[in-house]
Structure 1
């Protein structure tokens, strides 16, 4: 609900039991002076019958002339513009830098996964990531039917091969990631860009909030792929030109992200070996989402996968 073009009130229906990610993330980001978001003003809660608290609503600033990425980024794909991609890369790097900065809310914001080579004689530690990704592949295969399902099944081994780095990941840094970072969560408004919705991934509610930064980056880059699919499907964009746009936008975003992290002294946050496996998992999750909630969306992840495995 937009109130007097001054604030936005996001009502949770139904209310969610506290703690929830968003209030904590807002408090942390405010304390470390991250401003590339809609300024958070308040969280409204009430007592629950069991004695706990329920989060009712979040109140943030209203951003004039704001459009989300499923509008402005599709426009960019149709026009062939890629200048925005570097700005998105910088935005993501600044967000991760802020999330890796200590505050009273998160006094130890960076953790480390165990080194798989640290304890000899034991099976390498793969964390929950490899299992989670394999489960996503398995579920996507089970839920995707028809010609798409047969195509996907024929490439199941190739998909699983891409997940191998997850089982061999080193002691990569873990931070409180956004968790659902796609272009739809990036508003372009009168004064620039703002990342919103720090509620975590609604399709993986049990995920540890501390994850490799590569997961956010992978979701952001795959969302550019989805933008290209939307432009072709709904705006009659040329498929070849759009494919070239996607590749250029991805490269610009990733390059700017890496440069900005290095500039801010946090190059160690990104484990590049994890980006591709997380991209594969994300496309499988898009197929799961399509099967369970929005069947017409299946064309987007299938279009991406077909472009990756021609």
Structure 2
């Protein structure tokens, strides 16, 4: 007897990371792709299930989600919050199933498997199930530590193993190479100081998982990655917010006079991003898009603006200026593209005692994998950071206004000053000086495209915040 598909349906509906909430869907299939080795006596059976979801709305389509499960013979009341269901399993008899990431006993199995991979040439590649744990040299795992599941993540799940390591489990699975693993592997082998080191990753090979060389011949799906845990690091977004709060708390001071001035950190972050981009350009292909390809990029920006105008009527006053920014990009005739981050903002950065780290190279989760793997201009990443700097003081400005409605004009001026100062320090540090005309043209187009996207997002999700990106759109028109 296998699980009733409704078991997974009810489970997905209550998770944070399921991307189909609000859409009609059914479970098309559930496939067990492997079983982890037992770490020690008393551990549960740990299996990995890939659950295919079929949508019944106009958009339709299917998605595959990873559900690692801890199977116990008896109910474990300590795991009631992670209960999936109970059934008679064809391999293990009657079982109570729980989301394994909530269970320290189950998570120990992952550590043992990664440790085993470090002692076998190329990793433990000959598991008949097709599960393949890979390790990079240079770090010995702490097998005696316990796991802690992070809360609040939207698209994946992360588990810390003590202070030693962090495992990210990809929930939505797509065949092919995950850019987060691909980029981290390259940067780790180069000993780049601006990322958390990659320790290993988990694949599943659908098809013939083994051969005489240990290389599978089927389709690879990447399920998880294990990396350095930056326990004492501070979130870049939170640090920037604290700086803006200090500015507003200190009355009439200018941003450069405030005790919490962030400009020097913005400079360091600009340098860090440039150095990461430079390494990626050395180890991944750098292409030159011709005029037709650049026109296609600009046309896509125009199309996104057309769609946004239907949602955000206020954009109409600035549409001509936005289209001019895209037209200037077309006129470049050709641009260089390379591997980039793809979804960069302050929330994707961590400040450690040794400097800035950039995290989550998975790209924008909502985009198809093929699009996330496609080379793009490094100025898309720069634009994302500039828009993030713009948001920081305006978010704080709105928070302060809730308790202190007086002084609105002064706070608005200070917010603009903080944003301008930090954008400029970051950009100058990244570029190493003044931008060329081509660089400015590309940056203007990508900033405009990002701001248009933000107006749609805010209109649909936080209507009172739509003025933040609209102000940026107005600046483009005034430039």
**Counterpart contact for 2:164–2:229, Cα < 8 Å:** yes
Structure scoring higher RCO (CA < 8 A, sep ≥ 6) equals 1
Report the counterpart of residue 68 of structure 1 in structure 2: 235
Equivalent of 2:330, from 167, 170, 176?
A: 167
Per-residue deviation, 1:54:
2.2
The question of 1:110 aligning with 2:291 is answered no
Query: Cα deviations across residues 193-224 of structure 1 (Å, max 9, x unaligned)?
Result: 10000001234433562112211111111111
Post-superposition shift, 1:63?
A: 0.7
Whole-Å separation in 2 of the counterparts to 1:189 and 1:208: 28
Correspondence 1:89-104 to 2 at 5 A = 89-102=270-283
Q: 1:59 to 1:287 in 2, by over 3 A?
A: farther
8 Å CA contact retained: 1:16, 1:56 = no
Aligned to 1:183: 346
2:167 corresponding residue in structure 1: 9
Q: 1:20 to 1:279 in 2, by over 3 A?
A: same
Ranges in structure 2 where 5+ consecutive residues have no aligned partner: 1-158, 209-217, 247-254, 256-260, 402-407
Q: For 1:16 and 1:40, locate their aligned partners in 2 and report how far apart those are by CA, in whole Å.
A: 21
Q: CA deviation at 1:100?
A: 1.2
**Over residues 144-184 of structure 1, what are the superposed CA-to-partner deviations in whole Å (9 max), with x where a residue is unaligned?**
3xxxx3x2222222222222222112332221111111111
- What is the root-mean-square deviation in Å for CA atoms of aligned residues? 2.7
2:180 to 1, 4, 22: 22
Unpaired runs of at least 5, structure 1: 117-123
Report 1:255-266 matches (<5 A): 255-259=428-432
Q: Which residue of 1 aligns with 2:470?
A: 302
Deviation, structure 1 residue 71? 0.8
- Structure 2 equivalent of residue 44 of structure 1: 202
Name which one, 1 or 2, has greater alpha-carbon Rg.
2
Residues 12-44 of structure 1: CA deviation (Å, up to 9, x unaligned): 113332222112111221233322111111111
Question: Equivalents in 2 of 1:185, 1:259: separation in Å?
Answer: 22
How far apart are residue 8 of structure 1 and its match? 1.4
Q: Which has the higher strand share?
A: 2
- The TM-score with structure 2 as length reference comes to 0.55
TM-score, normalization by structure 1: 0.82
Greater helix content: 1
Number of residue pairs the alignment of both structures matches: 286
Instruction: State how far apart, in whole Å, the 1-side matches of 2:425 and 2:166 are.
Output: 32
Out of 284, 287, 290, the residue aligned to residue 452 of structure 2 is 284
- In the TM superposition, 1:231-242 aligns within 5 A as 231-236=396-401, 238-242=411-415
C-alpha distance in structure 1 between counterparts of 2:272 and 2:172, whole Å: 31
What is the 5 A alignment of 1:124-143?
126-143=294-311
The offset of 1:292, in angstroms, is 5.8
Distance in 2 (alpha carbons) for counterparts of 1:295 and 1:54: 38
Q: Is the 8 A contact 1:64 1:189 kept in 2?
A: no
